[in-house]
Structure 1
């Protein structure tokens, strides 16, 4: 007896490949849904996700390591919280984008951090940048818009330390060698170096603040412990008394969350529906892979029994379009049945039997011979059906 041939692929290997494919496809869908929400920390830009020298990932981590809480805002619907919102402007940030965020804040504490340095990517180290000097004064001023009538200036620092005023009294922050300051209409100084060197100011009467020099908060500035301590103190004082965290806006940096139909499948209230569909798909796959009970036999094309024979014969007549030719046979069938039911003499045949059945017909009703003739002479299916019904009714009335 020869040994049975082994299958080409082991069932366990096939099952593992299918399972891996399903998991990979699910992960692909999740990544496709949230790909736009993942910002890079190595793009060399100035935002809260960036680990470059001009980025602000360091202050986010510093707040968290100090026991505080932070939020990264990607959705305009999250602007309504009481937490201080830090907007990190970049050279290509428009004044309209900043004003829209300020409008949505509705008078809540907001800090705008201006850009200062022009940089290019470092070819040797991914995520690093090389400074090419400060940005032009006019370019930085345009980020704030012409309506605010503010002027931004870069110059050699005349003082090594900036001191706080008003509710920031007592705060001291070391200044960089080249300091960027702001001046203009309706500006309240909050952090000042030498006379006229306004580093941090409040704009108008609302809690809208402007940090002219980003080196007080960015990654390269926090390498000095005194400046890192001052950064925490500034953010704490600028925050509202009932705030729970410091929020960092990412929408003006292009990392806002946009409506995505695929994300709805992985978020409430549609997440349970997605899980139910996944479970149904798994059960369907198991049902296809494993048989429940014996296999159902395929039914015969032509069934056994008299009923099947009659149906097949009727089908042949229908295909040949000769249904109306069956009237004579049906009339003979009714004749034999009526003769048997009425006890007719066995010697009666054809015309004699028809005459006998005519005498048995109820008075005023059609005679059997007339009904049988109508069945024989039917020219179509409708005529045959009408004649057959009349014969059947005649037989019912006869045997009552």
Structure 2
């Protein structure tokens, strides 16, 4: 055989062909998964006026501040559930947001609408930053509100940079003295003042009919406003006024183009169709394996008693099974899942077991979890057979996914 023939034979050896096929299959599967989850894989740091943005006009800093203060924070990309009515919903519309889009969001609890203020363009030198190019006209800033409110409302803008202390209508101070540039205030017969400036004009007001809160100047809670300690205190107090005691704060992302979409490929990668997808993939892999190698099980040449961590784990599992103690593992597993979920959603650390269970039940109702944690714990305590253990473990796993899936 010549040298060229030997080179050609080596290039098309079975090993090379198998490697090429495996790389192609993995690449194709990766492209499919990325295509299905592309909208949720975006960081969201595009300089917009939403809770994923870290620019001066965004509100990403507010979510971090609230979490550090112990408040449950959720970033909503889909349809709100009825149990979320116990939470505070924060809407950050853009000037082109239609009033119908806000009306379509079904939420009967406290709602805060933050009006837009600045015309901003991406900074080409710093990804995620923006450059402001003047104020959005008052008419455009009010456009997300319904027509009746727009007719009777007036958005006033100061022409200077002022240092002021915000106050409640009864005269009590709120937050700390902050510096604002071209502060905007809201006036009209349909608004009930909630927070006013030093001239008695409403900065935060509530609509008499819908009971929706509207913040006229987003600089008071945006990333730009949180750059000082005084601004952070003021933002904290503003949210505390409209937030029900102990309720989660839900930041809506659907108005800013981050709505979670449903497609066939994604359905195939999520329960309940995920099992079917895995079975089909396993069958395809098994068929390819049988086509590539000699049919029949290979001779087992491994040790009868395995060494290392795997052997220790298998022996321990065998002892538990031999002693018929599997059902007793249900309660410790439930406690592990509780600790993992509490850490993931930023639950207060000072809560005892009963208070933490109650807290997780409230958050579960907010996110629409199928089961409450307290009910799952009772099922774990009542487990008598390995089948009961498997059912409880599966339910706890689904509860974990429901509680943490929305935090992206």
TM-score exceeds 0.5: yes
Contact 2:166-2:173 at 8 Å conserved across structures: no
Q: Deviations over 1:203-256 (max 9, x none)?
A: 12654211110001111111011111221232233222352x211101111211
Pick closer, same or farther for the CA change 1:96–1:206 going to 2, 3 Å.
closer
Pick closer, same or farther for the CA change 1:235–1:167 going to 2, 3 Å.
farther
Structure 2 gaps of 5+ residues are 297-408
Pick closer, same or farther for the CA change 1:188–1:242 going to 2, 3 Å.
same
The equivalent of 1:210 in structure 2 is 214
For residues 188 and 173 of structure 1, what CA distance do their matches in structure 2 show?
23
Contact 1:39-1:49 at 8 Å conserved across structures: no
The equivalent of 1:21 in structure 2 is 24
The equivalent of 2:184 in structure 1 is 180
- The secondary structure found in structure 2 opposite 1:200 is strand
The equivalent of 1:47 in structure 2 is 50
The Cα shift of 1:190 comes to 1.4
Matched, 1:200 2:204: yes
- What is the root-mean-square deviation in Å for CA atoms of aligned residues? 2.9
Q: Whose radius of gyration is greater, 1 or 2?
A: 1
Match of 1:91 among 76, 91, 95: 95
- The secondary structure found in structure 2 opposite 1:181 is strand
Contact 1:166-1:190 at 8 Å conserved across structures: no
- The secondary structure found in structure 2 opposite 1:236 is helix
For residues 173 and 19 of structure 1, what CA distance do their matches in structure 2 show?
63
For residues 100 and 272 of structure 1, what CA distance do their matches in structure 2 show?
34
The equivalent of 1:236 in structure 2 is 240
Return the TM-score normalized by structure 1.
0.66
The Cα shift of 1:59 comes to 1.0
Matched, 1:255 2:258: yes
Structure 1 gaps of 5+ residues are 294-400
For residues 227 and 162 of structure 1, what CA distance do their matches in structure 2 show?
11
- The secondary structure found in structure 2 opposite 1:162 is strand
When the two structures are aligned, how many residues end up with a matched partner? 290
Pick closer, same or farther for the CA change 1:196–1:31 going to 2, 3 Å.
same
The Cα shift of 1:64 comes to 2.3
Contact 1:152-1:180 at 8 Å conserved across structures: yes
Q: Which has the higher contact order (CA 8 A, sep 6+)?
A: 2
Q: Deviations over 1:234-293 (max 9, x none)?
A: 2233222352x2111011112112331221112221111112222112111111111205
Contact 2:97-2:143 at 8 Å conserved across structures: no
Match of 2:165 among 156, 161, 164: 161
Match of 1:57 among 46, 57, 60: 60
Contact 1:80-1:105 at 8 Å conserved across structures: no
Return the TM-score normalized by structure 2.
0.64
